[in-house]
Amino acid sequence: MAVSGERSNLLCAGLGRGNFIVYGLELKNQMHIFELAHAEEISQIVSLNKLQNKYFATRCVEGHVNLWSATNHPDRLFTLFNIDADEEALAHLQPPPPEPEVVVIPEKVIKYDDDGNEIEEEEEAEAEEEEDED
């Protein structure tokens, strides 16, 4: 990938696992080697023509993209992780899910009268009031 324009006249090429090299086209010299610019092989290097070739981007096989300034010694400006939106590839970068909130629901106590019939709560409250009066 060649980056040319007002600010730079560079050639960038991938070098194995995550590395790339920057050559100066005017002086035909090596400007810089970036080791481990990505964790995996670089699959694409593109100049950003719409931004007057002041920047270029590298992309690795995992889908992560780094944006670089197009100077003699490029600086990494930022990284876009997993541009392909592969959720499994980014699972280790996500925060852990929140702990579920434990809600204790009181158990309903069912009471029965002498005949074995279920006593409703209202009836029970009335019975307790009668006992209190006695």
Per the domain annotation, does 115 fall within a domain? no
Per the domain annotation, does 62 fall within a domain? yes
Per the domain annotation, does 82 fall within a domain? yes
Per the domain annotation, does 26 fall within a domain? yes
CATH of the domain at 27: 2.40.10
Q: What is the pLDDT of residue 48?
A: 80
Owner of token pair 């939106």: 85
Per the domain annotation, does 56 fall within a domain? yes
- Contact yes or no for 47/70 (Cβ under 8 A): yes
Per the domain annotation, does 77 fall within a domain? yes
Task: Say how many domains are in the chain.
Answer: 1
Per the domain annotation, does 119 fall within a domain? no
DSSP 65: E
- Contact yes or no for 6/52 (Cβ under 8 A): yes
Per the domain annotation, does 132 fall within a domain? no
**Per-residue pLDDT for the chain (134 aa), expressed as one digit of tens each?**
545 444 457 888 888 788 888 888 888 887 788 888 888 888 888 888 777 778 888 988 888 899 888 876 788 887 887 776 666 766 777 788 888 888 888 887 777 888 888 777 665 566 666 666 65
